[in-house]
Each structure stands twice: as structure tokens, then as C-alpha cells.
Amino acid sequence: MIDFELPQEIKDFQKMVHDFADQTFRPISRKYDELEHVYPKELDMLKGMTSLDRKKKNKDGKQVESKPTSDKIGSNMKGVISAEEISWADPSFLLSIPNAGMGNVALATIATDEQYEQYGDKWLAMALTEPGSGSDSGAIRATAELDGDEWVLNGEKIFVSCADRCDAIIVWASVDRSAGKAGMKSFIVDRDAPGMKLEKLEKKMGLRGSDTGTFVMTDCRIPKGNILGSAEVVQSTEGFKGAMKSFDSSRPMVAAQGVGVTRAAVELTKEVMEENGIKPDYKRHVNNVSSMEKEFYMMEAQLEAIRLLSWKAAWMADNKRYNTIEASMAKGKAGRQATLITSKCCELLGPLGLSTKLLAEKWFRDSKVMDIFEGTGQIQHLIVARGVLGLSSKKLK
């Protein structure tokens, strides 16, 4: 029998995160939206909880768990459940949790033990996108050349989340542009490495509590050991694909971010509808349902669908099942529905939907990016179509 009920232990965890987010994060959501780029210092409270435990030693002094893995039963599920609750309070805060940047996911997936030892408790951003290369990540132009004991990096990286707050950045660059994707490697670059400059912070429509910036690397020098994975260029895209695997864990989380903001908007709309005497009555015959109620039921159904998709993708990751298609299904549908539903909620709320008295207008602005970053909705459709049809990226573009 299929059972979608969460185990009690996970329900307790969900309630704990929800209560914390409700009491601590929701009340400061508007403030940091207005302040834009200012780090919500209240998030420091999450520091200990999210920094990954890599210092456990056994009685012989040997490290027991040097690297967190996403294959522990429950860690991906716990991730999506807390992502929903935090995003319910404020989706930009999910991108602002200390030491839990996109670069941290990549580090946990591909770093050596030594690299993990050095960078595991730092805050890591991820810089892949460039002017002219976002969806087509194989087209990046940033380069890395070995010069003695150092890599020398040159190029520009745009729309980097946590650009100002991070300690270091996982930068994607090519060691051999003629080799295409096989030449693409990732490097750990300290924020203050010589030649690394934070050029500007982006002024955004939504997710304004999260800092997004541009880095320019001009003969930026980093130690030879800061390459993630092997420096060898083999004529295969396996290395690139391996690194892309971090999306299988991060996309369900971004989907859950969409679930959280959608739920916030749906709950608020229900509250206001009820204050105005429109109470959903699920027993009423379909012929006697008002148009507002119909809209509301459809939103609730989509909300449930995106939550189940994000859970399924995360559950598969926890259970070491191949989940690339499901992660993209969850991210693609959740990103789309978050934008549609938060917009519909603003409509149903009337003038209140546009007023800064409520957070509905903010959630509408925040949700837009969820259909863009971590791969746009169109790119998720492409990944799903390739997976379902069994076609390679060369055959289906």
C-alpha cells in the first residue's frame, strides 16, 4: 500500500522548524525585503545547526564521518521539509543560511577529504553562470591555467547567490576550451583571493533578502590543490555529469522553496476569504461551488502536487535511487506553480494583494525567480523529456 504519511519523528522535526520560522523569520521578512542585501543577522542562530559535522572521531582519533553524504536515509527529506517551512516564512532566507550555500552542496558531493577538512565549515557560493552562458553551461568562457603551483583564473561570473556573504566560491572554468564540457572543472576560490573582485550586487524584484552578485576574476591565483576532482582532461563528460549531480539534491530543495512560498500565499488567501464569509466546504456539491472557491480548490490541489513531487525526488535521493528526472519534474512544476499561484492569490485578495500591509505581493515577487534559477522551467522540461524519451542532449536540444 502506498503511504504518504510522514513518520512521527519527521512530523516533530517539521513542527519544530515551522515554529522557529514562524516566530523568528516571518516577523522580520518585510524588514529585510526593504533593506535589500543586508544580511539578516537573526540567521546566525542556524549556524550551528547547519554546519556539517565532519569532526567526529572514533576512540583511535580517526575521523568517523569526514564528509556528509546525501545518501543517509532522511537527510534529503529533512532538507525539503525544512526548506518548505523556512520558505513559508521567507524564501530568501533559505538562500541565506550560513554555511549552506549551493557551493556547500557541490563540496559535499565532490570534494576530497582534505578539501572538505579545509572548507567544510565555510560558507560557499556557486558560480557557474556567465554573460552568454546560463542554461547552456557547457558554453562557459572563464578559463583556468596552471602556472607552477597555482591556478590562474580569468573570467566573469554573474548572478552568484550569497556573493557578499560567502567565504569562498566554487567557480566553474575551463582548463581546455577546445575540449568542450570535458575541459570544464570547478575550483574553490577564496573570496579574498588575489584577482577576485566582487564587482556589484544585483538590485532585484524579489528574493531581496538574498544577496546576488557579479565576480570578475583577473589573473586570480589559487593553490593547485583547490581544483575539485581531477585536473586531467579525459575525452568524456563523466566529470561534468558527476558535478552536475549536485542538482539532483538541490533541485528538490528549490522545489520545496516554491512549495513553502505557495503555501504561505494559499493560507493567507484562505484566511482573508473566510473573514469575508467565503468558507471552503469540501462536501458541497460541485455545482454549488462559487468561482472563488473553485479557484481556491485548484490552487490547493496544485500545492499538494508540488509537495508530493519534491518529497518523491528527495526520498529517491535518500534511498540512492537515480532521481534526475524526478528532481527536474519537481523543480519545473514547483517553479511554475509558485509563480502562477502567488499571482492568483494577489488577484483573489483584491487591493490587499497589492498592498504592502500583507506579504502576498512580496511572495509574488519572490516566486518569479524559482522558475529561473537552478535551471529554468524550460530546461527542466528538456531534462524530463530527454529522460523519458531516452534521448541524449545532442539529440534533443
Ligand X SMILES: Cc1cc2nc3c(=O)[nH]c(=O)nc-3n(C[C@H](O)[C@H](O)[C@H](O)COP(=O)(O)OP(=O)(O)OC[C@H]3O[C@@H](n4cnc5c(N)ncnc54)[C@H](O)[C@@H]3O)c2cc1C
Interacting residues with ligand X (CB under 6 A): 102, 125-129, 134-135, 159-161, 204, 207, 212, 369, 372-373, 375-376, 378-379, 382, 397
DSSP per residue over 103-123, as a string?
A: HHHHHHHH--HHHHHHHTTS-
Cβ 123 to ligand X shortest distance, Å? 12
Cβ 266 to ligand X shortest distance, Å? 23
Q: Which residue lies nearer to ligand X by CB, 269 or 339? A: 339
Q: Show Cβ contacts of residue 140 under 8 Å, excluding neighbours closer than 6 positions.
A: 128, 130, 133, 155, 172, 173, 174, 184
Contact 328, 317 (CB under 8 A): no
Grid cell in block for residue 157: 561570473
The percent helix, strand, coil of the chain (3-state, each to 5) is 50, 15, 35
Q: Which residue lies nearer to ligand X by CB, 207 or 330? A: 207
Cβ 159 to ligand X shortest distance, Å? 4
Torsion angle (degrees, nearest 10) of CA 343, 348, 354, 360: -60
- Residue of minimal Cβ distance to ligand X: 134
DSSP per residue over 320-389, as a string?
A: T---HHHHHHHHHHHHHHHHHHHHHHHHHTTHHHH-TTSSHHHHHHHHGGGGTTTS-HHHHHHHHHHHHH
Cβ 202 to ligand X shortest distance, Å? 7
Q: Which residue lies nearer to ligand X by CB, 356 or 393? A: 393
Query: Taking Cα atoms as reference points, which of 186, 318, 175, 341 lies closest to residue 261?
Result: 341
108: Cα separation from own chain's centroid: 15
Cβ 201 to ligand X shortest distance, Å? 11
Cβ 83 to ligand X shortest distance, Å? 16
Q: Which residue lies nearer to ligand X by CB, 88 or 159? A: 159
Cβ 322 to ligand X shortest distance, Å? 23
Cβ 309 to ligand X shortest distance, Å? 19
Q: Which residue lies nearer to ligand X by CB, 292 or 372? A: 372
Q: Which residue lies nearer to ligand X by CB, 134 or 353? A: 134
Residue 24 CB burial class (10 angstroms; 0-12, 13-18, ≥19): middle
Q: Which residue lies nearer to ligand X by CB, 215 or 296? A: 215
Q: Show Cβ contacts of residue 333 under 8 Å, excluding neighbours closer than 6 positions.
A: 255, 305, 306, 309
Residue 162 CB burial class (10 angstroms; 0-12, 13-18, ≥19): buried
Q: Which residue lies nearer to ligand X by CB, 127 or 188? A: 127
